[in-house]
């Protein structure tokens, strides 16, 4: 039987791989929005007892992760009107290959740990995938906006680990974390705008003056 | 409250009061000199009394809930305390007329404040009974003396001096702290009491680190690099205290560590003795090469620390080879030389100070003929010079005599101990000869002959407190030289608290020695009188006239024809060229209408030279190579984070 | 009492022996030379004169001759003459004597520097330099003697049968010691090949140039001091070269004065057959003495152990 | 009622955005004073928090809190003078975020729940980012960008670490709140493997924020570009907040018997940080960056001391307190220098002792203090750390520690000598108002007094804080 969670997680992994190779920012943002929705929905299917609080919290998460965060970045793109693509440090095809290798290695490495049996088999791999994709984007993209997207992806990955494992976490705490992430993205968005205004570009090559 | 602490409080008050008086120069100075002087005098009398009574005294204070600050005084501490207070007293009195620029009133008051702090911290260092108290006082001593060094911060040279001093004292303190750390690692207590029972390796390590730390304060070669810069930079009465007293605190540290370790290995003696010989010979060689009067005196301090260490080293070898007489002679000689050196070195610095104040220059090549108008300064300076050369009947001889006796006792030993005693004796002799050359040069160039520049013409020596405070140590130089009994007795008493395991050291053999010295000195004075009488008799009713110096046929002599200080020393320094390279600056004369040319030479200190080449440059180079870490690219910064995680995960 | 008489004799006879050197030199020069008592005549002449002082000088200039004479006179008090006990002696008197001679040197230098004369400064610099190595040699020899006799006073080395005992203990290496001591003698007393007291060129002098400005009785005191110093060293050398203890005092006296005469003559011969070294070679010459003393010590001590 | 401590500055911070800029400055001072008053009350009474699941009054928290309060109050006084002299365009935003920053930092010190701690620390990043961008220059923009991104990434890893620790609870079948106090009590049952992994992530995560090398890279940029009062806060207390997270996790590790593992890692990071600081201090050209690297050094010292444990852990706490006091004073002083000379380059300063004597006293005092000279407290701290390291037989670590401290001192002293005494004909472009020197003096005096006399309650609190690391007396 095909469990909806399997589908969701597979799609998440796929989307992550896609973002390795994606060169267009709008596409990347859409992928991110999808990930946000998918990731927020996972707790619903894991089969803890449902409370009305839990459901409403899941919905809030979904709105924030799936709509507000991607939208705010999208608005920045709109506002600053990116005309030119910035070449990444590692090319798109090479990124894809590197990404695959990293994900396999990380999944293999995670078996070193004693994983609770109740965990869904795909969960950890997909979380790790998201994490690594995020960090990979952060490290290889010269485009500042892509870096912020990488950060958000990483956060999604951590959220995926968190919601699954930490059953005890109170919703209010979860909400606090979410709020932090949201505020962080907002601030990054503002910084992005300022970068664009100051340098007329979002290439991080401009941001290398402070050094020894 | 004990008189000791009372005197410290008085000194501190004497230093703090001027800060509040500030701008009223004369009042400020009076308050400072009166306060600090009174405190020093009280402290000196008190500790002298305690030394003669062999009274032990200790006081403990709670500190930050967890520690106790323990201060205790045994005869070793008391011996050093007497020196500290006495010389500080002399220097304080001297400063009244020496600090004579009302425009710098506030700065002078700050100077007095730190001066009082320095005295107090030195007194606390030599009484400190545990690590915390010791480090605390030690660091305050370093810091306060730093401020004294950069009193004249306007010149780049003095700033550099201050910097060097600060860095060296920090490194030294760290080294001492390492030694204490190892000690604590073994005993688990901040006190020094348990140090006797730790392993031998531990003891050796502790001693080596402590020796480096204390040696850098004392100015042992090659850790002396700061000393010839820092001591001249300070005002002269401060130089007198720093050179005369502060570096002795380093010697005190070496002795104290040795006594608490209770470990009588020959290794320590060999180390100290070799360090002493190297410092002694190189110190005086570099002193000979200086043309700056105060720098010369500073290098001579390195030399005298060398002599002191030779004495202590001979003492340690005596202890390790079970020769009580040799041990006591070595230690007592070293300690006596500590006292003697503090007397004549401060006297010489004070003399240099008055020269500096009156002529405005420290370069001996610009001076000359000062004796004619500065009779008292000249005479006291001459006495100081004779004493520092270790000539009888002055005090320098007495200390060296004891060290010699100790060293000759070591001649009867075997192998290494014999060889080292032999080397110690010969180097003492060489040091003696070299310092004679060095100080005959100073006296001859600065005080005698004719003025070499207008700066030295027609100077007076006004300033009664300056003269008095030079006369007092000069008198003591002769007093100790002729009647050393009391002083040798105190030195032996101080040795007895080193806990060498000899119990009470009998004083009789030393008293016989003292008697000999006294008799010999008296004999000399008697013969001197007789010959003087003879001379007076011969000159009775004889025509005596004055005329110019015989120019060997040359009839138009100028003052520039006089022998210079550097040419005086040149041939001796050539002998030592491998360790004292000379740098010459002499553009050749070229062309039909040659430019004006000049000749400049300076003697370089190899420790300083190699410190730059072998230590500082590689460190700078290495760290500069690492600058790429902070290259400004955020991607790699994130990479660092990832790298840290990945590496650490391997260890999970 | 005997010691006192010997001391007085030394004081009185020292100028005579220095005259011997002049006589020997004259003989080598094929000249008749001055009378043997020339030094006494000179001293008397000087004592009768007054003095001219340089305007540059101070009281130190006048102290110079006095102190250097004092030092030499006292040195003789501690010296066993003719193998007899000296006037005074204590443990460590060697050190005292050597340092006292240093004091005399200091004042000679100081007096020279007092005149502001370039020549005297030059001489002073040399006077300060060369004795450093001599002192090292002397202390090296002293270490050897202390190791052999276990004592630290001149009387233990030169009185009675001690020289003989030292010879026995040390063996033929004593020759090294004697040569070393002889070199020290030449250096300390400003003889050829270190210094030429008879030259006319001030530039090349050491001791003589330093006393250029002294005149009258002052100069006489300096001369006296120099005689005593030479006597001091010559006695030591003589004691080692002729270590025989003949038993009877009269024979001892005779041998002593004879040996002393021989040493002075050897000095004279050396002066006559050698040329003065170039100034920069002098340190090497003196350093030879240190090397000899050092080797003597090392070799001897090997045998002892 | 503990929560009121961070609620008040939060509310006043929000207020500041809407008030007239002229009202902002007094608001800052009043809030600071109120906060100080409340924290002192907290020290005296130790009330229970309302949300005891999330917040707790812990000894280490109390220490940090008092330091934060005191520093903020003094810095707010300085800020009034600074704002008048420095002409900042968006003063409203500056004061507002200063207060929010205070609120978030207070929350860090009080939080007990592992996630709440994370929320608070991330919030400090967000609240302080606008402070760094106050000057609106290209460089400050770059610094802000790096600060926000690197710290966010780092702290995200800390979140992962926190999650992993809760996994360790799951596996160990521990049924308790995910709070530090509960975990410390139940540490023995936690799954060691996950716990270690969690510690590693938390250490690297919060270590990024704390400025441990090699994650320190943002720190010199941010600290040098921020206006001086903000730098003082960043360096003086923000680093402490991040350290608090590591400290509490380390406490769990020690309680779980993994103290050697965590201690070794802390020591390595400590030494690495000191070495990194040495690298850049030696030939530094800007004095604010110099101070920033010195902060990295001190964080390294503190991490090293914590790692060594025992006596050294006590020393680390002492260093922590005094570093805050002295470093913030130094940063405030650097603000004076910046205003007086109009340049951040060491090269172009000089003669501070003549140009601005009052500032010089604060500057040199701070230097002496930060270098570990008595009578300032870091002396005691470093002494204990070194002695403690030898006591624990960490000879290699202690050797590196001492050597690099010497190198750093040589470099630092060189620059300080230049700034203080170099010849110059500059005249100061500002007058040394009382409000711009006294805060520094008071900070230094506090350090001085604490080096001579320590209140019993403070002593007990430090002892309690380091109890699990085998520390104290």
What pLDDT band is residue A50 in, cutting at 50, 70 and 90?
low
**Spatial distance between the Cα atoms of B573 and B144, rounded to a whole number of angstroms:** 36
Peptide bond into B142 cis (omega under 30): no
Q: Is D210 exposed, middle or buried (0-12, 13-18, 19+ CB in 10 A)?
A: buried
Q: What is the pLDDT of residue A84?
A: 59
For residue D410, give the chain B residue with the closest CA.
B167
Q: Do D373 and B66 touch (CB under 8 A)?
A: no
**How many Cβ atoms sit within 10 Å of the Cβ of residue A200?**
11
**Spatial distance between the Cα atoms of D85 and D69, rounded to a whole number of angstroms:** 24
Q: Would you say C185 and C164 are in contact if contact means Cβ atoms under 8 Å apart?
A: no
Q: Would you say B112 and B39 are in contact if contact means Cβ atoms under 8 Å apart?
A: no
Q: Which two tokens stand for residue B409?
A: 């006792």
Q: Do B637 and D383 touch (CB under 8 A)?
A: no
- Please give the C-alpha separations between residue B83 and each of B86, B181, B340, B346, B494, in angstroms, as whole numbers: 5, 30, 9, 11, 13
Q: Do C and A share at least 3 CB pairs under 8 Å? A: no
Longest dimension (CA), chain B: 105
Q: What is the pLDDT of residue B415?
A: 81
- Please give the C-alpha separations between residue B192 and each of B123, B134, B251, B335, D394, in angstroms, as whole numbers: 18, 11, 18, 22, 22
What pLDDT band is residue B443 in, cutting at 50, 70 and 90?
very high
Q: What is the pLDDT of residue D240?
A: 95
Does D389 contact chain B (CB < 8 Å)? yes
Range of the domain at D184: 4-469
Chain A residues inside the 8 Å CB shell of B649: 109
Q: What is the pLDDT of residue C65?
A: 95
- Please give the C-alpha separations between residue B2 and each of A88, B9, B57, B72, B73, in angstroms, as whole numbers: 77, 11, 9, 12, 12
Q: Would you say D374 and B140 are in contact if contact means Cβ atoms under 8 Å apart?
A: yes
Q: Would you say B346 and B389 are in contact if contact means Cβ atoms under 8 Å apart?
A: no
Q: Which two tokens stand for residue B624?
A: 């500069």
pLDDT at B115 over 90: yes
- Residue C103: helix, strand or coil by DSSP? helix
- What value does the mean pLDDT take over residues B311-329? 94
What pLDDT band is residue D468 in, cutting at 50, 70 and 90?
confident
**Cα D100 to chain center, whole Å?**
17
Give the pLDDT means over successive 10-residue stretches in chain C (305 positions). Answer: 91 94 93 92 94 92 95 95 91 95 96 91 93 95 91 90 88 91 94 84 83 93 95 95 84 91 95 89 93 89 67
In DSSP terms, which residues pair with B545 in a beta bridge? C52
pLDDT at B48 over 70: yes
pLDDT at B122 over 70: yes
Residue in D116, D153, D280 closest to A173 by CB: D116
Cβ-proximal residues to C89 (8 Å cutoff; 6+ apart), any chain: C78, C153, C154, C155
pLDDT at A212 over 90: no
Q: Which tens digits make up the pLDDT trace of B264-309?
A: 999 999 999 999 999 999 999 999 999 999 999 999 999 999 999 9
Does B558 contact chain C (CB < 8 Å)? no
Q: A92-107 in b/e burial notation, b at 16+ Cβ within 10 A?
A: eeebbebbeebbeebe
Q: Which tens digits make up the pLDDT trace of B173-207?
A: 999 999 999 999 999 999 998 898 999 999 999 99
For chain D, percent of residues with pLDDT exceeding 90: 84
What pLDDT band is residue A85 in, cutting at 50, 70 and 90?
low
Does B563 contact chain C (CB < 8 Å)? yes
Q: What is the pLDDT of residue D303?
A: 97
- Please give the C-alpha separations between residue B336 and each of B400, B476, B480, B484, in angstroms, as whole numbers: 9, 13, 10, 10
What is the tally of structural domains in chain D? 1
Residue in D387, D423, D456 closest to B184 by CB: D387
Select the highest-mean-pLDDT range: A14-23, A160-169, B483-492: B483-492
Rounded to 10 deg, the angle between the D21-45 and D4-18 helix axes is 180
Q: Which of D142, B629, D217, D151 is nearest to A206 (CA)?
A: D142
Q: What is the pLDDT of residue B502?
A: 81
- What value does the mean pLDDT take over residues D42-51? 90
- What value does the mean pLDDT take over residues A180-190? 93
**Spatial distance between the Cα atoms of B441 and B619, rounded to a whole number of angstroms:** 40
Q: Which two tokens stand for residue B194?
A: 């348990």
**Among A14-23, B606-615, D78-87, D232-241, which stretch is predicted with the lowest mean pLDDT?**
A14-23
pLDDT at B39 over 90: yes
pLDDT at B79 over 80: yes
Q: Do B154 and D423 touch (CB under 8 A)?
A: yes
**Spatial distance between the Cα atoms of D330 and D371, rounded to a whole number of angstroms:** 12
**Cα C74 to chain center, whole Å?**
13
- What value does the mean pLDDT take over residues B439-454? 93
Please spell the DSSP secondary structure of A50-61, one letter per residue.
P-HHHHHHHHHH
Does D154 contact chain B (CB < 8 Å)? yes
- Residue B68: helix, strand or coil by DSSP? strand
What pLDDT band is residue A49 in, cutting at 50, 70 and 90?
low
Q: What is the pLDDT of residue B551?
A: 80
Range of the domain at A98: 4-110+122-202
Cβ-proximal residues to A117 (8 Å cutoff; 6+ apart), any chain: none
Q: Do B547 and C55 touch (CB under 8 A)?
A: yes
Q: Do C53 and B397 touch (CB under 8 A)?
A: no
Q: A159-170 in b/e burial notation, b at 16+ Cβ within 10 A?
A: bbbbbbbbeebb
What pLDDT band is residue D41 in, cutting at 50, 70 and 90?
very high
Chain D residues inside the 8 Å CB shell of B139: 372-374, 379
Please spell the DSSP secondary structure of B378-407, one letter per residue.
HHHHHHHHHHHTT-TTSHHHHHHHHHHHHH
pTM of the model: 0.95
Interface of D with A in 238-267 (CB under 8 A): none
Do β-strands B582-585 and B67-73 pair in parallel, antiparallel, or remain unpaired? unpaired
pLDDT at D180 over 90: yes
What ipTM was estimated for this complex? 0.94
**Spatial distance between the Cα atoms of B345 and B351, rounded to a whole number of angstroms:** 10
- What value does the mean pLDDT take over residues B495-510? 83
Q: Which of B453, B301, B471, B302 is nearest to B381 (CA)?
A: B471
Q: How many residues can be counted in chain B?
A: 652
Q: Would you say A69 and A36 are in contact if contact means Cβ atoms under 8 Å apart?
A: yes
Mutate to test the interface with B, among D392, D421, D454 (most CBs of B within 10 A): D421
Find tokens 């608070």 and name the residue: D120
Torsion of CA B514, B519, B520, B521, to 10 degrees: 90
Q: What is the pLDDT of residue C304?
A: 64
Does D407 contact chain A (CB < 8 Å)? no
- What value does the mean pLDDT take over residues D395-413? 96
Q: Which two tokens stand for residue C188?
A: 């300390």
Minimal C-alpha gap between C6 and chain B (Å): 18
Q: Do D and C share at least 3 CB pairs under 8 Å? A: no
Q: Which two tokens stand for residue D337?
A: 């220098």
């Amino acid at each position: 039987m095909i469990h909806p969670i399997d589908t969701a997680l597979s799609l998440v992994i796929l989307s992550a791989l896609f973002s390795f190779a994606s060169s267009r920012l709008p596409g990347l943002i859409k992928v991110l929005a999808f990930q946000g929705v998918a990731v927020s929905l996972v707790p619903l299917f894991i089969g803890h007892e449902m409370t009305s609080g839990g459901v409403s919290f899941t919905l809030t998460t979904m709105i924030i992760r799936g709509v507000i965060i991607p939208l705010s970045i999208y608005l920045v793109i709109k506002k600053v009107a990116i005309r030119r693509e910035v070449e990444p440090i590692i090319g798109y095809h090479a990124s894809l290959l590197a990404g695959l290798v990293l994900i396999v290695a990380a999944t293999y490495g995670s078996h070193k740990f004693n994983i609770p049996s109740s965990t869904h088999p795909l969960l950890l791999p997909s979380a790790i995938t998201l994490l690594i994709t995020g960090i990979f984007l952060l490290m290889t993209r010269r485009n500042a906006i892509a870096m912020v997207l990488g950060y958000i992806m990483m956060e999604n990955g951590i959220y995926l680990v968190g919601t699954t494992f930490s059953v005890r976490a109170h919703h209010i705490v979860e909400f606090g974390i979410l709020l932090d992430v949201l505020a962080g993205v907002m601030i990054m968005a503002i910084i992005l705008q300022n970068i664009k205004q100051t340098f007329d570009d979002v290439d991080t090559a401009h941001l290398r003056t402070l050094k020894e | 409250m004990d008189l000791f602490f009372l005197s410290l409080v008085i000194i501190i008050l004497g230093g703090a009061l001027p800060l509040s008086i500030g701008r009223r120069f004369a009042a400020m100075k009076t308050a400072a000199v009166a306060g600090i002087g009174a405190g020093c005098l009280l402290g000196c009398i008190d500790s002298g009394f305690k030394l003669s009574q062999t009274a032990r005294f200790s006081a403990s204070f709670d500190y930050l809930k967890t520690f106790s600050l323990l201060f205790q005084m045994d005869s070793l501490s008391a011996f050093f305390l007497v020196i500290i207070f006495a010389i500080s007293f002399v220097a304080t009195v001297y400063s009244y007329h020496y600090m004579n620029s009302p425009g710098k009133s506030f700065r002078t008051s700050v100077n007095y404040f730190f001066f009082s702090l320095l005295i107090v911290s030195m007194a606390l260092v030599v009484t400190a009974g545990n690590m915390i108290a010791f480090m605390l006082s030690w660091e305050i001593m370093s810091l306060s003396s730093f401020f004294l060094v950069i009193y004249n911060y306007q010149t780049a040279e003095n700033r550099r001096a201050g910097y060097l001093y600060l860095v060296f004292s920090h490194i030294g303190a760290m080294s001492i702290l390492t030694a204490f750390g190892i000690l604590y690692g073994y005993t688990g207590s901040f006190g020094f009491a348990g140090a006797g029972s730790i392993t031998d390796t531990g003891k050796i390590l502790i001693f080596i680190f402590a020796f480096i730390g204390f040696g850098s304060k004392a100015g042992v070669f090659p850790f002396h690099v700061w000393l010839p810069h820092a001591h001249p930079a300070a005002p002269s009465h401060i130089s007198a205290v720093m050179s005369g007293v502060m570096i002795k605190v380093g010697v005190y540290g070496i002795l104290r560590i040795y006594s608490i370790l209770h470990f009588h290995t020959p290794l320590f003696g060999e180390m100290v003795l070799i360090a002493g010989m190297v410092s002694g010979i190189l110190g005086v060689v570099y002193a000979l090469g200086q043309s700056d009067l105060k720098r010369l005196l500073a290098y001579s301090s390195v030399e005298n620390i060398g002599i002191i260490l030779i004495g202590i080293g001979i003492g340690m070898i005596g202890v390790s080879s079970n020769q009580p007489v040799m041990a006591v002679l070595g230690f007592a000689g070293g300690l006596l030389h500590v006292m003697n050196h503090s007397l004549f070195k401060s006297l010489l610095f004070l003399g240099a100070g008055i020269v500096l104040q009156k002529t405005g220059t420290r370069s001996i090549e610009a001076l000359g003929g000062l004796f004619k108008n500065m009779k008292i300064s000249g005479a006291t300076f001459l006495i100081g010079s004779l004493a520092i050369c270790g000539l009888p009947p002055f005090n320098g001889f007495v200390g060296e005599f004891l060290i010699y006796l100790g060293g000759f006792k070591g001649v009867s030993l075997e192998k290494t101990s014999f060889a080292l005693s032999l080397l110690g004796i010969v180097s003492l002799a060489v040091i003696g000869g070299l310092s004679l050359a060095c100080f005959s040069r100073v006296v001859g160039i600065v005080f005698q002959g004719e003025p070499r520049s207008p700066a030295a013409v027609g100077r007076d020596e006004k300033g009664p407190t300056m003269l008095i405070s030079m006369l007092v140590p000069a008198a003591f130089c002769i007093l100790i030289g002729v009647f050393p009994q009391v002083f040798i007795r105190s030195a032996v008493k101080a040795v007895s608290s080193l806990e060498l395991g000899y119990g009470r050291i009998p004083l009789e053999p030393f008293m016989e020695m003292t008697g000999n010295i006294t008799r010999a000195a008296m004999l000399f004075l008697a013969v001197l009188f007789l010959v003087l009488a003879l001379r007076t008799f011969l000159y009775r009713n004889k025509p005596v006239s004055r005329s110019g110096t015989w120019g060997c046929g040359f009839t138009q002599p100028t003052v520039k024809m006089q022998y210079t200080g550097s040419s005086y020393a040149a041939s001796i320094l050539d002998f030592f060229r491998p360790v004292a390279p000379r740098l010459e600056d002499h553009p050749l004369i070229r062309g039909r209408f040659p430019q004006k040319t000049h000749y400049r030479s300076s003697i370089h200190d190899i420790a300083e030279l190699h410190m730059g080449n072998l230590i500082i440059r590689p460190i700078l180079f290495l760290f500069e190579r690492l600058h790429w870490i902070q290259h400004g690219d955020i991607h790699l910064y994130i990479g660092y984070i990832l790298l840290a995680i990945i590496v650490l995960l391997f260890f999970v | 009492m005997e010691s006192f008489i010997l001391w007085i004799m030394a004081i009185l006879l020292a100028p005579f022996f220095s005259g011997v050197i002049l006589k020997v030199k004259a003989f080598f020069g094929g000249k008749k030379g001055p009378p043997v008592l020339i030094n006494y005549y000179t001293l008397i002449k000087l004592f009768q004169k007054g003095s001219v002082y340089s305007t540059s000088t101070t009281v130190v200039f006048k102290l110079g001759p006095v102190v250097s004479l004092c030092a030499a006179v006292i040195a003789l008090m501690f010296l066993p003459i003719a193998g007899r006990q000296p006037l005074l002696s204590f443990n460590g008197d060697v050190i005292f004597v050597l340092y006292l001679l240093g004091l005399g040197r200091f004042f000679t230098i100081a007096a020279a520097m007092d005149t502001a004369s370039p020549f005297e400064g030059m001489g002073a610099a040399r006077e300060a330099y060369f004795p450093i190595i001599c002192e090292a040699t002397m202390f090296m020899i002293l270490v050897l003697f202390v190791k052999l006799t276990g004592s630290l006073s001149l009387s233990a080395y030169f009185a009675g049968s001690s020289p003989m005992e030292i010879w026995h203990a040390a063996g033929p290496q004593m020759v090294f010691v004697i040569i070393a001591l002889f070199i020290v003698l030449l250096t300390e007393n400003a003889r050829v090949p270190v210094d030429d007291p008879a030259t006319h060129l001030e530039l090349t002098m050491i001791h003589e140039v330093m006393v250029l400005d002294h005149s009258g009785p002052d100069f006489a005191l300096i001369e006296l001091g120099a005689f005593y110093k030479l006597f001091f060293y010559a006695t030591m050398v003589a004691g080692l070269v002729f270590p025989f203890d003949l038993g009877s005092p009269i024979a001892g006296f005779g041998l002593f004065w004879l040996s002393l005469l021989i040493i002075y003559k050897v000095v004279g011969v050396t002066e006559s057959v050698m040329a003065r070294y170039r100034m920069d070679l002098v340190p090497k010459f003196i350093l030879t003495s240190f090397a000899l003393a050092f080797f003597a010590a090392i070799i001897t001590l090997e045998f002892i152990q | 009622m503990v929560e009121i401590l961070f609620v008040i500055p939060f509310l006043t911070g929000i207020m500041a955005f809407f008030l007239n800029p002229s009202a902002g400055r007094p608001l800052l001072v009043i809030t600071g004073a109120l906060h100080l008053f409340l924290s002192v009350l907290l020290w005296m009474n130790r009330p229970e928090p309302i949300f005891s699941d999330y917040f707790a009054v812990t000894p280490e928290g109390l220490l940090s809190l008092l330091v934060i309060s005191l520093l903020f109050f003094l810095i707010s006084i300085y800020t009034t003078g600074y704002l008048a002299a420095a002409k900042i365009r968006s003063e409203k935003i500056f004061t507002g975020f200063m207060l929010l920053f205070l609120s978030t930092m207070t929350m860090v010190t009080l939080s007990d729940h592992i996630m709440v701690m994370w929320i608070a620390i991330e919030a400090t990043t967000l609240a302080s980012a606008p402070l760094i961008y106050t000057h609106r220059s290209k460089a400050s923009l770059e610094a802000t960008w790096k600060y926000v991104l690197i710290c966010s990434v780092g702290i995200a890893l800390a979140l992962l670490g926190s999650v992993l620790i809760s996994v360790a609870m799951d596996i160990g079948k521990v049924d308790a709140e995910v709070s530090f106090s509960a975990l410390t009590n139940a540490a023995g049952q936690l799954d060691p493997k996950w716990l270690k992994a969690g510690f590693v992530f938390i250490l690297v995560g919060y270590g990024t924020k704390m400025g441990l090398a090699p994650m320190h890279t943002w720190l010199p940029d941010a600290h040098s570009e921020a206006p001086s009062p903000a730098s003082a806060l960043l360096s003086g207390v923000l680093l402490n907040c991040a350290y608090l997270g590591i400290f509490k996790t380390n406490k769990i590790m020690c309680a779980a018997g993994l103290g050697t593992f965590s201690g070794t890692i802390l020591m390595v990071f400590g030494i690495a940080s000191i070495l990194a600081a040495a690298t850049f201090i030696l030939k530094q050209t800007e004095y604010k960056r110099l101070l920033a690297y010195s902060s990295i050094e001190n964080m390294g010292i503190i991490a090293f001391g914590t790692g060594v444990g025992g006596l050294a852990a006590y020393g680390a706490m002492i260093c922590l307190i005094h570093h805050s006091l002295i470093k913030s004073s130094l940063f405030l002083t650097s603000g004076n220098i910046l205003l007086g000379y109009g340049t951040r380059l060491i090269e172009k300063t000089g003669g501070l002792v003549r140009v601005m004597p009052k500032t010089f006293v604060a500057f040199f005092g701070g230097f002496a203090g930060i270098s570990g000279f008595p009578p300032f407290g870091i002396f005691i701290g470093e002494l204990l750390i070194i002695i403690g390291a030898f006591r624990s037989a960490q000879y290699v670590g202690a050797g590196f520690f001492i050597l690099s401290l010497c190198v750093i001192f040589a470099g630092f002293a060189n620059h300080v000598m230049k700034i203080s005494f170099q010849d110059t004909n500059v005249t100061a472009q500002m007058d040394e108002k009382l409000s711009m020197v006294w805060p520094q003096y008071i900070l230094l005096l506090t350090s001085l007094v604490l080096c001579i006399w320590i209140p019993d309650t403070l002593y007990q609190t430090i002892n309690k804080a380091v109890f699990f690391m085998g520390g104290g007396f």
